[in-house]
Structure 1
């Protein structure tokens, strides 16, 4: 990795800026951010050194502090943003490995989301029901659409646990980067879903194109983990929740 510029900041100043930046991005409990593990990781990124080992240690620390993997990875990304560098996939996976293999994991609700960091389908359907009922808005107009992203490449058996969570991490990050917080999302075993609206024109298509490009790049680097090309479908939503549930179940079984 090339040396990541950090201006004239010393390590302590960089860590302080990192904390302010990640809190501004939505870190839930600012008092819980500080950890000894942030220092060696910040040092590695600041000086362009291999960061996988300190990233794994930071992942372990975050899991022990009941920080979800989504929040933890966003925090890691915030440091790379400050240093004007791209976060390597190897660092993402190292952080995830530390988080996933920690003996004392986060609370059950966070753990249930698994390595993708996305809600399970049951939570997605609950949010979809609220959208149908007008309780929750997708902040857009037009008709409702269902986006399905299938990244599965064959079957991954019990011996492929490492490959499975690598796939889940990569798919989860791609979905979050592409669709953001405005879209209710769900995930199960290599298949992600997102709920959006057709207006403003091109919004959903732009998100789909971003997801396709991101996953195509990741699939080239991980051909045994991600489908290439990824299969993405955009369909009008049915009028009722039971039919939507049936569509998702059929996609999972395909």
Structure 2
């Protein structure tokens, strides 16, 4: 299955779209979470070149490349050069967003290649981690490892902002479901599916982001108040592991209505775009479904 935009033809792995604005889509890349609008001209140019070089080097999810820490590094480079604090902040942010160490260091190499090249090759650069200054690599890797190891050592059952179970708990529930299906000789993809709620948080103020996630989580609990497993999968994604035997289509429409009503009740959220609510098929194996969850969480 190839990741693609939400609009357009449906793949064979998708559910059919439902009425009420609920669309079944594959795991896709969403809008980028920041656009560097607060940077000066030189920093924005650097940011654009860095992003292009990083994506060309293999950055897998364009939607989650643009973190606030990216802008911090670009601003520092356009001034006096990147400090250890700016670079380590980027490393920690990459780990927190789910990027692997290899991907994070390749992104760092793309930045170094762009800065080192200037405009000598018309903007075309080939990132090489071996030519990246060892100090930058060390600072970034240590910062990434601090967050990654802390996440493993302090895995919580619930996510503190929304109060929903964590992605780790959802994976545990998936493992139980796959083991049960295997014991009974059934196919897990025929028993359950995922309902995802994802927000385009680009351009939203920090307070609005927090408010929307809390609001959506509360609506999710009110609609899915049975044996379903709900979880916070990423900074802008909530998910429900639901039984195919239930009226999932009706619940999805009810969830959209609940979220919309709560948004309209708060004047400060009038300009916030309604979330995308989608139904996504599970994969044949537990490992494949875990990879699917990771991609969905990084929209």
> Normalised by the size of structure 2, how large is the TM-score?
0.40
Higher relative contact order, structure no. (Cα contacts within 8 Å, ≥ 6 residues apart): 2
> Normalised by the size of structure 1, how large is the TM-score?
0.47
- Which structure: larger Rg? 2
